[in-house]
A and B are shown apart, each in its own frame.
Chain A
Amino acid sequence: MDHAVSRRFVLQSTALLLASTALSSKALAQDAPAGGRLVVAADSEPKSLNPAIVASNGVFFIASKVIEPLAEASFDGENGLAPRLATHWEGSEDGLSVTFKLREGVKWHDGKPFTSADVAFSALQIWKPLQNLGRIVFANLETVETPDDHTAIFRFSKPTPLQLVRNALPAVTSVVAKHIFDGTDIAKNPANNQLVGTGPFKLAEYKPGEYYRLERNPDYWGEGQPKLNEVIYRVLPDRAAAGSALEAEEIQLAAFSAVPLADLDRISKVPGIKVVTKGYEALTYQLVVEINHRRKELADLKVRRAIAHAIDKKFVVDTIFLGYATASTGPVPKNAPEFYSADVPAYDFDVEKANALLDEAGYPRGADGTRFALKLLPAPYFNETRQFGDYLRQALAAVGIDAELVNNDAAAHQKAVYTDHAFDLAVAPPVFRGDPAISTTILVQSGIPAGVGFSNQGGYASAEIDGVIATAAQTIDAKARTLLYNDFQRLVVEDLPLINVAEWGFITVARDTVLNVANNPRWAVSNWADTALQA
């Protein structure tokens, strides 16, 4: 339970608001009214909507209402999970198998029954070979046995920690129907966009550039669910448009910070609109300074520590994120309490110390006050990453490092940093996805080929850190594995292959009439079966 509490109070600045929404949603959860059409803002139209192939938030936002995973993240469930298509899961002692008991009486939207064959097919034909995250988690999956229609036994060739599988369940185990995909070219199957799932809503209509319309699934397995008759995703690429549409009551909800942070203060005062900071605890984004260790100066630990001391994290949180973020201590965010360790070195904001470290490293200020120059590439994906790039340039100037800002668009940034290594420092927003082994260790692990995005492309290599990552990957005992990741955090913060600056979740802005908002840690990408509208 203490997990749930600390998860809830991640963003201290909004604790009050947070508490009030938590109360109201609890009170209303049981007798929420049924019916109604919920219109929400969507900022993009993914080209493939199949969450079994593309495990990304953009896809989940829409597809998670139609296609369900084996389990979903939960504030108060056991191990932070609530059952969906699986009702029970158990790992073997040797870590070579995991047995799932599947929900009975579930039907696909086309009326066919959901069975263990669908799970086996999804796992072996899609998650493992095709899915961006599943390729990592299920790398050692060999077979899936289906002794009966409601049991699936996953067998691995190498020990695979149940802890990892468990933590990955919400994101990587979206189950699709075998009878629709079997024997076809999966990547080209039209069902990648005309989704058929088991979820509370059916995808009824898609008008490119305008909207997606989801309709209530009357045969949903959840009793009395879903509450809503329709969910409509209205495509609004401009962020100002989302705010205006909310104020004009044309839409009722904008998730994923579709309303810019700078507008939140004003819009929160509009009667009938609420700003919710909860519901993204399991989708934490991290603000990170990536370092190219091929640069002689940056290969020096003293220089990296000096840069860490030069960054005022409080300023970043208060001014760039307007308080809607938390300062980071290391590579695992605070709202992953299962793994988070505070037992790491701290680099306080201290310009004098930074200057001293740089002097000590043998980079004295030249006649113009500069020690050396470098190229800084802020990722363009968020306003905040760009703004932090501007800030970092100034912060570095204060310690005599002249950073030249290089602004690229998304594709060019991706290539410059992760393929061409044409950077000295870069600002990145990696995501912590519930377990360090999914997308966090890859940020510092060595031996990753060029071209792999959101990974260690800075040429950093530490035998010690690689060793901990490799051991943890095959450690079955959850406690021992967690301890290894505590070591991992300490080692990373000591050696600074990259610098973690801040971590943030997104903001949901909704009309007061939308009920049961943000009642799980992946709310925006969960199934919304209990979301309701006040008549």
Chain B
Amino acid sequence: MKRAMLLLRRRAISSIPVLLIVIVFTFLLLESASGDAVDAYLVSIGGGDAALVQSLRQSYGLDQGMATRLWLYFSALLRFDLGWSVAFDRPVLGLILERLPNTLLLMGSATALSFCLGSLLGIVAGARPDSFRDRFLSIGSLLLYAIPGFWLGLVLVIVFAVNLRWLPTSGIETIASGKQGLARAMDIGKHLILPVSALGFIYLALFLRVMRAGMVETWRMDFVLFARSKGLSRLRIVLRHVARNALLPLVTVLGLQSAAMLGGSVVIESVFAIPGFGRLAQEAVNGRDAPLLMGIIIVSAVSVIFVNLVVDIAYAFLDPRVGASEAGA
């Protein structure tokens, strides 16, 4: 436990410069994009005259210099104020808090699905490397991995929502249904099946491959030979010795993957009309909404840092060698 606390403290301190760099870089990136929030807004309302344009720039604070705006942003951030979204005309924090749960639910379920199913199938494949079962699973999962997420999503919708009518086409829950409690949870679950499958099945291959590769490696180890010579059953060797040792790299991939899923959710959320974080990010870019986009990126960065921390702590528990040096320092 002490090791974990030390790790936590070190990480918290080292992530501050990372966040600063992310913020400044995002700000400059948006600044260098052609067109600002007023241009984006004028497109949506069909234009306006010069005086209107002028007054809009003023009310958005875009008439001030770049340095002033960056400074204002930072000083607000120090007060934990994420600012005001110009595209939505609402506080950024409120918007993010409204959308984040949907994305966490979607990503969490999809990651869990691809992790559990992927490592399970990886064990099946790695139990007998180069068997027919192994080949079939490896090639099949690669095929899935090669499919673009939005396409898989659209196909799933056409088959299961439009043709079979088993599941809803889109949305996070039935609109204005008035459902409460368990009924509502069931409803949300039903809406999540297709997007979670579309997102989860694609990343399944990654976990499967890593698990399988780890197991292939482990089979060659001396302790496996020893276990076999002890006369342990094959199932016991596979689960207790081979798979368990192959689990470590899988946790690394899990950490990396949860960050990648944030990106994947942009497409899936838009195909399935889920009001989530990814769609918000897309709308922020289209609307040149700097405060909103920076808020999104900060929250994403914090969550990626957090997930990596959790992964490191998990590592420390799974493998006693990890973190020993950090704790000693």
Residues on A facing B (Cβ under 8 Å):
39, 44, 46-48, 54-59, 132, 135-136, 187, 205, 207-211, 213, 230, 232, 234-238, 240-241, 244-245, 247-248, 250, 381, 408-416, 419-420, 431, 439, 448-449, 451-455
Contacts and interface: CB of A to CB of B under 8 A. Distances in A.
A238 B270 contact: yes
Interface in B17-48: 33-37, 39-48
Given A234-B175, A236-B170, A411-B286, A452 B48 contact: yes
A56 B279 CA distance: 23
Interface residues of B, number: 53
A453 B44 contact: no
B135 interface: no
Given A237-B270, A240-B154, A453 B42 contact: yes
Contact of A247 (B40, B44, B162): B162
Nearest to B158: A244
Given A47-B87, A132-B45, A431-B46, A244 B40 contact: no
A439 B46 contact: yes
Given A209-B99, A240-B157, A453-B46, 5 more contacts: A209-B280, A241-B271, A409-B35, A410-B286, A452-B47
Interface string B87-119: 111000001001100000000000000000000
A451 B162 contact: no
A248 B275 contact: no
Contacts of A413: 35, 43
Nearest to B164: A248
Interface string B129-168: 0000000000000000000000000100110011001001
A58 B44 contact: yes
Contact of B89 (A48, A415, A451): A48
B50 A208 contact: no
Nearest to B99: A209
Contacts of A210: 171-172, 175, 275
Contacts of A414: 35, 39-40, 42-43
B46 A241 contact: no
Contact of B35 (A211, A247, A412, A439): A412
Interface of B: 33-37, 39-53, 59, 87-89, 95, 98-99, 154, 157-158, 161-162, 165, 168-172, 175-176, 270-276, 279-280, 285-288
11 contacts: A44-B44, A47-B89, A57-B46, A58-B45, A187-B59, A208-B275, A211-B176, A238-B273, A248-B161, A412-B34, A449-B50
Given A244-B161, A245-B170, A248-B169, A132 B46 contact: yes
Nearest to A205: B176
Contacts of B40: 410-411, 414
A245 B169 contact: yes
Given A209-B99, A210-B172, A248-B169, A451 B53 contact: yes
A236 B169 CA distance: 11
Given A205-B176, A234-B171, A244-B157, A411 B46 contact: no
Nearest to B89: A47
A56 B45 contact: yes
Contacts of A44: 44
Contacts of B51: 135
Contacts, number: 158
Contact of B43 (A54, A235, A410): A410
A335 to B, nearest CB: 19
Determine which residue in A54, A209, A210, A413 has the highest number of CB atoms from chain B within 10 A of its CB, and name it.
A209
B35 A209 contact: no
Contact of A411 (B39, B49, B53): B39
Contacts of B157: 240-241, 244
A232 B50 contact: no
B74 to A, nearest CB: 24
A250 B168 contact: yes
Contacts of B165: 248
A204 B45 CA distance: 24
A237 B170 CA distance: 11
The 6 A-B residue pairs with the shortest CB-CB distance in the complex, in nearest-first order:
A209-B275, A411-B35, A453-B47, A412-B34, A415-B35, A411-B40
A210 B275 CA distance: 7
A172 to B, nearest CB: 12
Contacts of B37: 411
Contacts of B287: 411
Contacts of A54: 45
Given A237-B270, A410-B286, A453-B47, A213 B170 contact: no
Contacts of A244: 157-158, 161-162, 169-170
A452 B34 contact: no
Contacts of B154: 240
Given A47-B87, A47-B88, A135-B52, A250 B169 contact: yes
B275 A411 contact: no
Contacts of B48: 132, 135, 452-453
Contacts of B175: 39, 207, 210-211, 213, 232, 234
A412 B98 contact: no
A457 B273 CA distance: 37
A135 B147 CA distance: 51
A211 to B, nearest CB: 5
A452 B44 contact: no
Contact of A235 (B168, B275, B285): B275
A211 B173 CA distance: 11
B270 A56 contact: no
Contacts of B275: 208-210, 235
A452 B53 CA distance: 7
A439 B176 contact: no
Contacts of A451: 50, 53
Contacts of A431: 46
B171 A56 contact: no
A454 B34 contact: no
Nearest to A39: B175
Contacts of A241: 157, 169-170, 271-273
Contacts of A237: 270, 273, 279
Determine which residue in A240, A381, A431, A439 has the highest number of CB atoms from chain B within 10 A of its CB, and name it.
A240
